[in-house]
C-alpha cells in the first residue's frame, strides 16, 4: 500500500520532532529564524509558522517575543494540591528556581475577588506580584491577594521567600483546605510582558482560594504558567 505524500507542514513538523526526540536539538536550543527555515525546507514562511505553531501547541518548542523559537525544557511536574512551595518543588526535580518580587501594594478588591473570598464590597487587599523562573527562564507570573488584617506589615518581609513559611513563622497561620480552578487561557497585559509572550498566547491559569487552620479565607493565588513549562499531575487516594 502506497503511503500518502507528506504535506510541507507535516514534513517540517516530523523533521523537527525527530531531531528534538533524538537530542540533536537539545532543550534550550534556539531554532533558526523562520526565514531561514523557509529556505531550508524550500517553502513559505506561512507554512513554517503553521508548523512551528503546531509544535508549540504540543509543548515541544516555545516562542519569546523578539528572540525567536526555542526547544522546550522538560515540563515541571506540578501537583497544585501539594503544599510543597515553588523552590522546594523545583529543586526536588533537580532544577534551579528563582523568585523576583515585582510589586507589593494595597488594592481595592475586584468584584470577582469579593465573591470568591467572601469579602464586603470595596474591601482592600494586599496584592503581591512575583515572577518565578526555572533554570533561568521565566515560566510563571503569579499574583497573591491577601487579607491585610491577617498580615500586618508584610510589605517589610522578604517576599521572595516561600509565603507558606512566612505565614507560619511570622503570623502563626497554616494552610488548611483550598479551592482550585485550572483552565487554559490567553496571556494578557502584565502577565504576557513578564513571560515574554505575545498578547493572546496560550497559557495555563491556576487560581486557588486558601483557608487557614481556622477555616478562614486568608488569600487568593492567581498563577499564569507558560503552557509548555508545566504538567499538572494529581494523584487520587483510594478510599474504602
| One domain, residues 134 and 212 | yes
Residue 4 is predicted with a pLDDT of 38
Which of these three, 37, 55, 71, is where a domain ends? Answer: 71
- Whole-angstrom Cα distance, residue 62 to residue 55? 8
Does 3 reside within a domain?
A: no
Q: What is the extent of the structural domain holding 54?
A: 8-71
- Tell me: do 23 and 98 sit in the same domain: no
Per residue in 51-85, pLDDT (tens digit) is 999 998 888 998 888 889 999 888 999 988 887 78
Which of 28-32, 39-43, 77-81, 116-120 bottoms out in mean pLDDT, i.e. has the lowest?
77-81
Question: How far lies 165's CA from each of 86, 88, 191, in Å?
Answer: 11, 11, 25
CB 203 within 8 A of CB 191: yes
Instruction: Tell whether 1 is covered by a domain.
Output: no
In this structure, are 195 and 94 located in the same domain? yes
Strands 97-108 and 202-212: unpaired
pLDDT for 189 equals: 95
pTM given for the model: 0.85
Residue 240 belongs to some domain of the structure = no
73 vs 215, more confident? 215
Q: What is the pLDDT of residue 3?
A: 40
Tell me which residue of 72, 58, 28, 82 sits closest to 229, measured CA to CA: 72
Q: What is the pLDDT of residues 123-180, one digit of tens each?
A: 999 999 999 999 999 999 999 999 999 999 999 999 999 999 999 999 999 999 999 9
CATH code of residue 222: 3.40.1410.10
Output the pLDDT for position 224: 97
84 and 141 co-located in one domain: yes
Amino acid at each position: 500500500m502506497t503511503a500518502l505524500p507528506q504535506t510541507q507542514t507535516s514534513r517540517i513538523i516530523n523533521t523537527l520532532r525527530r531531531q528534538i526526540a533524538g537530542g540533536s536539538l537539545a532543550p534550550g536550543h534556539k531554532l533558526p529564524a523562520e526565514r531561514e527555515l523557509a529556505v531550508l525546507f524550500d517553502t513559505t514562511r506561512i507554512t513554517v509558522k503553521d508548523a512551528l505553531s503546531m509544535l508549540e501547541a504540543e509543548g515541544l518548542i516555545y516562542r519569546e517575543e523578539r528572540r525567536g523559537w526555542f526547544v522546550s525544557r522538560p515540563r515541571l511536574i506540578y501537583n497544585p494540591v501539594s503544599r510543597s512551595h515553588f523552590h522546594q518543588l523545583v529543586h526536588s526535580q533537580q532544577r534551579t528556581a528563582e523568585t523576583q518580587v515585582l510589586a507589593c501594594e494595597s488594592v481595592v478588591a475586584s468584584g470577582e475577588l469579593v465573591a470568591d473570598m467572601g469579602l464586603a464590597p470595596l474591601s482592600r487587599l494586599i496584592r503581591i506580584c512575583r515572577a518565578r523562573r526555572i533554570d533561568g527562564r521565566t515560566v510563571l507570573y503569579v499574583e497573591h491577594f491577601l487579607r491585610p488584617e491577617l498580615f500586618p506589615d508584610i510589605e517589610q518581609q522578604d517576599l521572595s521567600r516561600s509565603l507558606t513559611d512566612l505565614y507560619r513563622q511570622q503570623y502563626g497561620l497554616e494552610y488548611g483546605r483550598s479551592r482550585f480552578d485550572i483552565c487554559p487561557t490567553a496571556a494578557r497585559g502584565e502577565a504576557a510582558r513578564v513571560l515574554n509572550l505575545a498578547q493572546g498566547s496560550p497559557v495555563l491559569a491556576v487560581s486557588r482560594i486558601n483557608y487557614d487552620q481556622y477555616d478562614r479565607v486568608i488569600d487568593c493565588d492567581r498563577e499564569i504558567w507558560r503552557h509548555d513549562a508545566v504538567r499538572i499531575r494529581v494523584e487520587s487516594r483510594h478510599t474504602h
